[in-house]
Every structure is written in C-alpha cells, then in structure tokens.
Chains A and B, each alone.
Chain A
C-alpha cells in the first residue's frame, strides 16, 4: 500500500511540471551541498549569474529569455540520474554535468535521447573523438591535455630534461582522478622521469598517510588531481610536511581560492593549471555588477563573484551563449533545439575577437571544433597563488599539449568504447 501511495505522489509531481515554450531552457546540475560544495558553489553561481546577466541586459539570447533551472546533485551519480530524468523531457539545450562520474553515465544517454552535453575540461577525455561520441563535447582542453601541459611546463623549467626526476600523482580515487594516469605513464616513458601514483579515497579529507609517503619518497614534483574538500586538505597537509609549494601542480579543478585559503600563508607559491584567465576584472564584470549583483539577483550568497571557479562557471555560460547564437544564426530561427545546439557546437570556432566581444578579452584560448575533433586544440596555462596578495596570477602563456602523445591515446580509448558499445564511427 505504501509503495503505491508514494508512487502516486511522485507521479502527480512528475506530471505536474510546467510545460513551456519560447524560452531557452538550460538545466544546471549543481552541487551546493556535500564535500564538493567548496568547488561547486562558485561554479554554479558563475553559471547562473551569467545567464541572469544576459536576461537582464539583452533580454536573453537573440531576444528569447533564458530559463535556468538548478538541480542539486551533491556530486552523486544517483542524484545525477534523477536530475537528468527530471529535465530531459523539457528540451534542455545544453547539459553541463560538472561531474566526471555523472558525465560518464550521461554520455550514452544523451546520444540515445538526442540531447547535447558539454563537459569543458572534465568528463571522459576520449569524447574528443567526435566520430564516436556524437553528442558530447569537451573543449577547450581535456584532462590528458592538462597532464601533458604540466609536464611540458616542467620540461621548460628544467632545461628540457626530466630524466631521473621523480613525479608523483596524488589523485582523487575516482574516474576523475584516474583520467591523467595513462597519459602520464606514456609521458614518463617518453621523457624518462619516474612516475608514481597515490590515490586518495573520496571525499579526501584524510590524507595523512599519503603525505607521509610523499615526505619519505621526496618526489621532485607532485601533480594533484583533486576536487572539493580534497584540494584544501592536500594543500594543508603539504604545508604541514613542509613540501615546497612551488613544486606542487594542481589540475584546473584544484586551483581556486577556496582550495588555497584554508592553508593561509603556507599555500603561497602553489601552482595549478587553468583553462582561462585568472583575474577578476574583465570588462564583463562591470555588467555582472550592474545587472546582477547591484540588482540583488546574484545566485547563492553572491560572495564568489570573480573567483576562479566563478570564472569557470562564467566560461561555461559563455560557451553555451556562443553556441545558442551560432545555432540561431545557422538555422535562422529564434527557437533553438538540442539538435541545433549539437550542430552549432560541432562547427564552433572561438577566437580572441569573439571572446573579447563578450567582455572577456585574453580570457580563454581560441579553438575550433570539427566533426572529428570535439575537444579543441588543448591549450591551458599555469597559474600561481600569491598568498599575500590573495590572488592567482598566470605565470605562463597558453601552452599547447603534446598532441603527438595524446591523439593516439584518445583514438585507442574511443575505439575501445565504440567496440564495447557497438558504435560505428561516422564523420
């Protein structure tokens, strides 16, 4: 009896969801709660504020209002499924799960449901091969690019020679954290450095033993693939064992203010990747302040504006914005469908002029997506934390990854997937 009652209640709610037209619907899968909230809140705020700004300033995109609905996933795959099933019938234009675990689940589903997913710098790396993964995109860069860019930077810093150096990867023991391992193994063969891995179980507050091991092994460099609470815990532990901060390199998900602030001055000099610029005074923020913050429409507490993860959210919003503009122009219509979004993303070319036009000059690397290449050209930069000034600053220009190593890996992994899932690559 109980079961049937609950069924009826939930059915009534599910069917009671409003239908709508004349709106651009974007679901936002957020995690404002749980161990990953420190990273998730600014990300969600940036994404939401960007769309609020478009609605307030331009009346939406091309005159059509944007409707953004948040769904809380807590970075949990089961809740992610629930969110996806909840909004998939409402023609979501672009799905950005912001979680590698959820992205893995949704990759086959978006294909079957004819929807479009963008996982910028996250998700499954081999999605780059657009011939196999038709509906998913991961430009501007992916995890393997990131790993390779760190190594390239280290090569440049160390006179093009890493022979005999010891590099340890400290990673979140999940699909996300394991992604760079294969690339780093290949690179260690190519450049002759010694490569070790140290997993940290999710969520990652407890890292005493890993850092003791690092202190014992004394690796020359530590690469960290962490997220949420794991980042701040790792930086704190590194400061505790007095590991030199400037020898730690985080991924672009391990380099935000919320990660370094808890360690105070101890975090000074910590470096991380970034796929976009780090400073918080791009021209766009004048509009964000005017239309969103001062109007009292900021998402969340409104205290994250301009932080790194907030910028990431803005960047995700900007990519969605550009895709809608392109889809509207290509199809000569204001009513965009998920399929049009897919085609728009596939033909997307983002140049410096376009980004500057959005109010984000010198912000993100230019890239061009094609049918075969859903992943861009693999550019990112390295940034460093200045604890005194309390800000991140880029210390390199855009670095391109070692595509010679990465392209064959992408090909192998995507072909293995195609074989397992019975997909015939087409382009």
Chain B
C-alpha cells in the first residue's frame, strides 16, 4: 500500500534508469546515508566501531570486489585473502617508507598495487574457466602468503614477521594507530565503502559492467558480438583486486593495527569473502553488504546474546554460534539460492502488490 510506484511517472531515460526507481527507496537510501554520516559518528562506541561497524564496512568492500569478479564477470576466485594481503603489505611499506604522505592516498595506492598484482594473476583466466580458474587463483593465495612470509623486506625485517601500523593522521586526526578515536576509524572506512560502492554500482550498470555480464553469461557469444574477452576479464580482475586491496589496506591499517599474513590473510579469509558473496547474492551490490553483515555482525550479536545476556559458558556459546550460523547459511541457500539480495527483491516485489496480490 505504502511501497509502490503508482503515480511516480518517469519522463526521461535518466529517471527511468536510476538506481532506486521508487521514491520511498530513494528516501530510505538518503536517510540511511545521513544517519551513517551524521548521526552514527556521534554515538559510536569503541566496541561498536571496532567489533561491528569497521569490520562490516571493510568486509563489504572486499565482498564488493569479489562480487565484481565472480558475480558480474563470472570468474571464480579463491585468491581474495592473498590479494587482501597485498593491499595490507603495500600500505605498510608505503606508510613506513613515506610517513609524511596522507593515509588515504596510501590506501588508494595500495589498491592500485593490488590491481596490478590481481591483473597478473588474472592472466590464466584467458585460457581456463570455472573450477580450473578457481584452482589457479588458489595458487595466487598460497603463493602470496608464502611470499610475505619468506621475504623479510615486506615486513621490514621485524623479528617475528608481524607488521604493525604506526600512527598516521589525516587533517590532524589520528586514523591509524592505537590512539585513533572510534568515530575517526568509522568515518574513514565509511567514506571508502560508500565511494567504492557508488563506483561499483556505476561501473556495473555501464558499458564495462555489461561487457562483464556478457562474458559471464556466455563468453563465446560475447566475443561474437564484439566484447574483447582479454580486456573484459582483465579489467574485471583489476577493478576487483583494487577493491580487495583497499579492503586489505584498511583491514590492516585501520582495523587490526597489526597482522601476520598466515593468520589474517589465509585461505579462510578467501572462503569467508566468497561465502559473503554467495550468501549475499552474486551480482548484486546490496548482496555484498547483506552478506558482509550476515557473516560479520551475526556472530558478534549471537556471542553477546549467548554469553552476555544468557550467561552461557564461552566455549559452548562459540560452538553453538558456529552451528547457528552454519544452519542459517544452509537454510538461506535452500530457501533462496540467489542469496539475501534475491530475498530482499522478492520482499519488495510482494510489498508492491500488498495488500492485493491478485
């Protein structure tokens, strides 16, 4: 009744093609942005920022990146953890080599370096597809982790191979390092997340995105109608790796503050981000956010409810938490194989017709 487009007339292509064609969606989107930018920073606590919001925003960027590659271009990748490590080590080297340069620039440069590495590892995609490509990217994952363990230059010859983010400021406000305020961390990540989500949305609905989707749907047909597979696939790898690199840089510099490659960027990370994309919805911007929220926020909420509210023993809660999250994943995938994004779409469709579905 409330949620429908009746009476909202589109008089131009521009209006017809906008991201949120229904007015109430548009309003909701701007309200959400306003709350995220103008309200949350004033109320965010250290716990909220460091345990929930910052990891959610960072994983959302990584999921967006992987979604571009896997969801939009159809190239399965298991190298996400490795590419995040490239972003993290790149930003660490940049931060310690050029301490006077602003961290935002370093993060973007780290994304750029990851894009180069990602493109190089994307080359096999020109010859192999599907599961075989997944295995090739798995090689990237293991090779990169091995590299950052093996070559001491990457971790500045520290005794234990750990990298630690030194304190860095932006406009006089500390962004990385132990003294960073919760709101500063949150806002810094939020700016990147919103900016990159906006970029992803516009890339995927433009000519580049249509080429990616053509390759995904049928690469031979795409080639026949004039899509250059080399450029389409490599550009997908580059853009995707850029996103993942930025996520890795933020993950290390802003969120964790110290990291070691095997633990923070191991194969588990690759799977985690892949699950976010699959659970959220392949080929959907909203799905990337929903998947990240599901796998980052839900365990924290469950833990706080089971241990904090119900007072269960921590080990029991940890096991139950794994079981609940696992069961929910299975349930969601059975009920809606296209992920949370499709669930959201169906809900909206039903809302439009409600209360007269016939």
Contacts and interface: CB of A to CB of B under 8 A. Distances in A.
Q: Bound pair: A and B?
A: yes
Contacts of A112: 177-179
A416 B162 CA distance: 13
A202 B309 CA distance: 33
Contacts of B56: 3
Contacts of B149: 173, 199
B55 A13 contact: no
A10 B166 contact: no
Given A13-B308, A104-B160, A81 B51 contact: yes
A77 to B, nearest CB: 6
B305 A13 contact: yes
A422 B100 CA distance: 13
Nearest to A126: B159
Contacts of B48: 7, 10-11, 14
Contact of A85 (B40, B47, B160): B47
Contacts of B55: 78
Given A100-B160, A101-B260, A10 B318 contact: no
Interface residues of B, number: 59
Contact of B160 (A4, A175, A201): A175
The majority secondary structure among interface residues of chain A is: helix
Nearest to B180: A112
A82 interface: yes
A71 B315 CA distance: 9
A86 interface: yes
A123 to B, nearest CB: 10
Contacts of B340: 2
Interface string A1-41: 11110110111011111000000000000101100010001
A179 B160 contact: yes
Given A82-B51, A85-B50, A420-B96, A174 B164 contact: no
Contact of B46 (A41, A88, A173, A416): A88
Contacts of A37: 315
A254 interface: no
A77 B263 contact: yes
A297 interface: no
A91 to B, nearest CB: 14
A125 interface: yes
B33 to A, nearest CB: 11
A89 interface: yes
A417 B160 CA distance: 12
A124 B314 CA distance: 27
Contact of B50 (A3, A16, A82, A174): A82
Contacts of A14: 45, 47-48, 304
Contacts of B305: 13
A74 B56 CA distance: 20
Interface string A244-274: 0000000000000000000000000000000
Contacts of A181: 159
Nearest to A30: B314
A37 B35 CA distance: 42
A386 interface: no
B300 interface: yes
Contacts of B314: 30, 32, 70-72
A199 B179 CA distance: 35
B262 interface: yes
Contacts of B260: 101, 104, 174-175
B69 interface: no
Contacts of A422: 166-167
Contact of A7 (B52, B156, B318): B52
B76 interface: no
Contacts of A101: 162, 260, 263
Nearest to B96: A420
Nearest to B267: A201
Interface string B279-311: 000000000011001000110110111011100
Interface stretch (B121-129, B204-212, B251-259): B251-259
Interface of B: 28, 32, 35, 40, 43, 45-48, 50-53, 55-56, 96, 149, 156, 158-162, 164, 166-167, 177-179, 255-260, 262-264, 266, 289-290, 293, 297-298, 300-301, 303-305, 307-309, 313-315, 317-319, 340
8 contacts: A2-B293, A32-B315, A70-B313, A77-B256, A78-B55, A107-B258, A113-B178, A417-B164
Given A86-B51, A105-B257, A175-B160, 6 more contacts: A7-B52, A72-B314, A78-B55, A78-B264, A105-B258, A125-B159
